Amino acid sequence: MTETVKNTLLFVVVGSLILLTGFTQSWNTAILILNMGLISAIMSIGVNLQWGFAGLFNVGVMGFVALGGLAVVLVSTPPTPGAWSAGGFGVILALLLGAATVVAAVMVAQRMPKGRVQTFTIIGILIVGFFVYRAIFDPNIAAIEAIDPAVAGNIGGLNLPVLIAWPAGGLLAAGAAWLIGKTALGLRSDYLAIATLGIAEIIIAIMKNEDWLARGVKNVYGIPRPAPVVGYEVELQQDPSFIARAEWFGLDPVTASTLSVKLGYSLLFVIVLLALLWMAQMALKSPWGRMMRAIRDNEVAAEAMGKDVTRRHLQIFVLGSAICGIAGAMMTTLDGQLTPGTYNPLRFTFLVWVMVIVGGSGNNFGAVLGAFLIWFLWVQVEPIGLWLMNLITAGMPDGSALKSHLIDSAAHMRLFTMGLILLIVLRFSPRGLIPEK
């Protein structure tokens, strides 16, 4: 069996698992798995770019995904009336001043001769800058958050089509990644891991608490859809030609409309995935990709050959994070809401890592396959676990405490299973299902 046949077979197997879900459970579930699988595949391509190509250990995926979601709100929702005049410009001014303070402190740190004077100047700049920043920032925020707090209280967005928000999400994530990379990429691998883990937590903390930005834990609902492609269920249900087509498939209009909307998303996601996959494949084969792998395998040798290791690392860190940002924007669009409280590192960082490692780090197709497979398992382990628990507890008397506890706990089988899969793959097939060539 050649490699191509084996890899195609693996994809066919995962595809049929999703199809099987459609036949045995419901097509809605199957397409939902497909859609989130597509988004996960994009995240895994991003992580694979960083880890598989360059050996960068980024465990801050969640932060970039969340930034992508934030971009959707900032780009595509309508602006809150009066928010900009009430305090929007003040907030921007305060943020610029804050940035200027940090830049000034860094300049002093780099330019002034070392010594006590330098230390005191830096501390002085930081303290004065901080108080000026807070003095401008606080009243403006209060003004914005006071506007109709029950439904708004945030700055709102630019009211642009939501598809523009996807690349914007990538840009926002890339900007954050550049800042992070500039400071943290010189660190050793496990320090970088801790640093990115921390930054992701901070990004989530900011999104939860800065209500003026995207309403914090009050969430933003009703994010516009990429309407021309996916449409709205209610409109479809009233469209006579749609009803006719639904009948031809033997479906009632309600089910058909939900399926059609979801398939519209699938179409968009497939296009993005294919484009990114093609680019990642081209990058892998190009001289640039070979250089990256050379740096990954032996930094010292690559540096001796005249490669600028730090710059290349920064470059690929930004690129990979931007891809995660795009995926995050797509996910928020699919959900139609931004809920900062639901971002959890186990789900958005470590699960993506499981996808990449199980699929095969260093191989783009492996990362994509891993994403679909692991996402399928993540969704299906819960019903399977419940079934298993019902089987185990079948002999126990009804109403026994152990029985109800076991059945209630079935939902937590997910994390356990994911850990088990990761460890088994790492032990017995450390290069993943589709290994790097």
Partner 1 sequence: MDFLNALVALSNFVLVPAIAYGSQLALGALGVTLIYGILRFSNFAHGDTMAFGAMIAVLVTWGLQAAGVSFGPLPTALLALPFAILGCIVLVLITDRLVYRFYREQKAKPVILVIVSMGVMFIMNGLVRFIIGPDDQRFSDGARFIVSARDFKAMTGLREGLAIKTSQGITVIVAVVAVALLFWFLNKTRTGKSMRAYSDNEDLALLSGINPERVVMITWIIVAALATTAGVLYGLDKSFKPFVYFQLLLPIFASAIVGGLGNPIGAIAGGFIIAFSEVTITYAWKKVLTYVAPESLEPSGLVQFLSTDYKFAVSFVILLIVLLFKPTGLFKGKAV
Interface residues toward partner 1, by CB under 8 A: 55, 57, 130, 138, 183-184, 187-191, 193-195, 197-199, 201-202, 205-206, 208-209, 345-346, 350, 353-354, 357, 408-409, 412-420, 422-423, 426-427, 430
Q: Nearer to partner 1 by C-beta: 125 or 223?
A: 125
Q: Nearer to partner 1 by C-beta: 90 or 264?
A: 90
Instruction: Please report how close the Cβ of residue 140 comes to partner 1 at its closest, in angstroms.
Output: 15
| 367 in Cβ contact with 355 (< 8 Å) | yes
Instruction: Please report how close the Cβ of residue 208 comes to partner 1 at its closest, in angstroms.
Output: 7
At how many degrees (to 10) do helices 413-428 and 364-392 cross? Answer: 130
Instruction: Please report how close the Cβ of residue 405 comes to partner 1 at its closest, in angstroms.
Output: 9
Instruction: Please report how close the Cβ of residue 423 comes to partner 1 at its closest, in angstroms.
Output: 4
Q: Nearer to partner 1 by C-beta: 274 or 402?
A: 402
Residue 220 forms beta bridges with which residues? 338
At how many degrees (to 10) do helices 253-285 and 27-48 cross? Answer: 20
Q: Could you tell me which residues come within 8 angstroms of residue 246 by beta carbon, excluding any fewer than 6 positions away? A: 252, 253, 255, 256, 257
Instruction: Please report how close the Cβ of residue 407 comes to partner 1 at its closest, in angstroms.
Output: 12
Q: Nearer to partner 1 by C-beta: 120 or 278?
A: 120
* Residue that is written with structure tokens 């891991």 in the block: 193
- Strand, coil or helix: what is 56? coil
Q: Nearer to partner 1 by C-beta: 20 or 346?
A: 346
Q: Nearer to partner 1 by C-beta: 89 or 416?
A: 416
Residue 79 forms beta bridges with which residues? 156
Q: Nearer to partner 1 by C-beta: 275 or 423?
A: 423
Residue 18: alpha-carbon gap to chain centroid: 22
Q: Nearer to partner 1 by C-beta: 195 or 434?
A: 195
Residue type, 386: L
Q: Nearer to partner 1 by C-beta: 201 or 233?
A: 201
- Strand, coil or helix: what is 435? coil
Instruction: At 354, list the tokens.
Output: 């499981």
Q: Nearer to partner 1 by C-beta: 27 or 378?
A: 378
Q: Could you tell me which residues come within 8 angstroms of residue 349 by beta carbon, excluding any fewer than 6 positions away? A: 59, 60, 61, 62, 197, 200
Phi, psi for 79 (deg, rounded to 5) = -65, 145
Query: Residue 10 class from Cβ within 10 Å (0-12 exposed, 13-18 middle, 19+ buried)?
Result: buried
Instruction: Please report how close the Cβ of residue 14 comes to partner 1 at its closest, in angstroms.
Output: 21
Instruction: At 205, list the tokens.
Output: 């903390």
Residue 340: alpha-carbon gap to chain centroid: 12
Instruction: Please report how close the Cβ of residue 126 comes to partner 1 at its closest, in angstroms.
Output: 11
Instruction: Please report how close the Cβ of residue 15 comes to partner 1 at its closest, in angstroms.
Output: 26
Residue type, 330: M
The most distant pair of C-alpha atoms in the chain lies apart, rounded to whole Å, by 81
Instruction: Please report how close the Cβ of residue 219 comes to partner 1 at its closest, in angstroms.
Output: 16
Give the DSSP H or E segment for 65: helix 61-76
Q: Could you tell me which residues come within 8 angstroms of residue 55 by beta carbon, excluding any fewer than 6 positions away? A: 189, 295, 296
Instruction: Please report how close the Cβ of residue 199 comes to partner 1 at its closest, in angstroms.
Output: 7
C-alpha closest to that of 376 among 25, 9, 66:
25
